[in-house]
Amino acid sequence: MKELKIDAEPSYEYTMLSSPKRNLSNLPMNAIVATIFFGCGMILGWVSSGIDQTPVDFTGARAHFRYGLDRSDTLGNNDAMPKLAWLLSFPNSGTSYTGELVRAVTGFNTATNYGESNLLNDGTSELVYTSAFGAAGPFWTDPKINRHKPTNGYILTKTHCGSRCDVCGVDGYVENEHLFLQHCLETSYISKSSTGDLVKSVGTYDKELVARAVHLIRDPFDNIVSRFHLRHNRFTKLNDTESLERYPKTSDGFRAFCNDLSELHAQEEETSKFYHDVIDSIRNVPCHADFFRYIQWHNLAFVTTWDLQIPTLVVHYENFTTNFDETKGMLIEFLGQEAIYEPPTFVAGKTYRDYFSDEEIDGIAQMFEMLAMEKTWHYTRHYFE
């Protein structure tokens, strides 16, 4: 079997910044003292209630140490910039169009956690909140295009959160809600060092900046095959001729890619407790691990928005095809903005259900019934009816 080459994907996707919870003893003492004095209630609560009690969110504190102590309100958003509405999406489920639509019809820019691929002419990412407390992100989308910045409503902000590597083993993608939230807040960006060099960094921002969420859901079969196409594009970009030959952008190429991955991780899945209930239904389904991730991803996204207690709009990607005006209307209204301009043409995503046999679709349906939370199942069961 061919060994899959893994290109230099940004490692921030799967490695966490070290958790201050574990490393508190390593932090400079003056930083801790300063934080307590400047009234970071969460740390204070944690310190006074003793070690290892309720989980504490250190996201703000972590960035705080890096960015200094100029906090002047509880949120630290001194920019008079609206708060964020996450665009939560498992990759390749319609993120790009949704962002384009919002920018086009409102005339206002959107934001992204991935500043690294949204650069100004000088090669750096542009922060949304230039003076927000501790915020190392999010960043403006395509900042070279000098769009208006929204002055009210919410700023749609792309994040793919965690649990989404495509070439990785069980241990690489099974995660809990704690890690998932951290990944939702995680950013990558490019800035200039004091010597003028461009430096790539990972960052995070305070969850308090997030006030709403748009949760995108796409037909899992189309979504998973599209993810293969994305991987295929990477092979092309890397001129990985061997992979391009072995995995053409066809149904056969998809299956060859999935088979190699399955073989690579079979042992791990057979013995994993996370697969225990489902392995018999999906063992032979191509790219079943990506369906596992899809289910886990949506479960965790629902848990996250529930835990943050933020209003959440679920959008079915296919409703841009079947129900365009209403879907657009709901989205723009939810963002507290106005649709003023014409929407960009929506080119319906292709459908790839015919890449799978009826039997395979049944196997996946069984995995959904077993692993999807009520809420996830509620919003995905129609893909199996």
Binding site for ligand NAG (CB under 6 A): 239, 241, 314-316, 319, 322-323
- Nearer Cβ to ligand NAG (25/239): 239
- Nearer Cβ to ligand NAG (243/304): 243
- Nearer Cβ to ligand NAG (241/271): 241
Least distance from ligand NAG to the Cβ atom of residue 4, Å = 17
Least distance from ligand NAG to the Cβ atom of residue 217, Å = 7
Least distance from ligand NAG to the Cβ atom of residue 379, Å = 7
- Strand segments (E) across 155-307: 155-159, 186-192, 198-204, 210-217
Distance CA 336, CA 357 (A): 43
Q: 110 near 102, Cβ under 8 Å?
A: yes
Distance CA 181, CA 186 (A): 9
Give the burial class of 102: count Cβ atoms within 10 A of its Cβ; 0-12 exposed, 13-18 middle, 19 or more buried. Answer: buried
Identity (one letter) of the amino acid at 247?
Y
- Nearer Cβ to ligand NAG (62/215): 215
- Nearer Cβ to ligand NAG (32/372): 372
Least distance from ligand NAG to the Cβ atom of residue 110, Å = 20
Write the CB contacts of 39 (distance below 8 Å, at least 6 apart in sequence): none
- Nearer Cβ to ligand NAG (52/325): 325
- Nearer Cβ to ligand NAG (130/323): 323
| C-alpha dist (Å) from residue 113 to 4, 138, 281, 356 | 28, 5, 36, 34
Q: What is the CA radius of gyration of the chain?
A: 22
Least distance from ligand NAG to the Cβ atom of residue 317, Å = 10
Instruction: Break the chain down into helix, strand, coil percent, rounded to 5.
Output: 45, 10, 40
Residues across the chain: 385
| C-alpha dist (Å) from residue 353 to 220, 224, 253, 378 | 9, 10, 15, 20
Least distance from ligand NAG to the Cβ atom of residue 318, Å = 7
The dihedral region occupied by 48, where left means phi > 0, alpha psi between -120 and 50, and beta the remainder, is alpha
- Nearer Cβ to ligand NAG (102/315): 315
- Nearer Cβ to ligand NAG (152/322): 322
Least distance from ligand NAG to the Cβ atom of residue 316, Å = 4
Q: 65 near 18, Cβ under 8 Å?
A: no
Least distance from ligand NAG to the Cβ atom of residue 326, Å = 8
Closest to 335 (Cα-Cα) out of 77, 76, 83: 83
Least distance from ligand NAG to the Cβ atom of residue 235, Å = 11
- Nearer Cβ to ligand NAG (119/331): 331
**DSSP run (H or E) holding 223:** helix 220-237
The dihedral region occupied by 289, where left means phi > 0, alpha psi between -120 and 50, and beta the remainder, is alpha
Least distance from ligand NAG to the Cβ atom of residue 2, Å = 15
Closest to 201 (Cα-Cα) out of 116, 117, 139, 118: 116
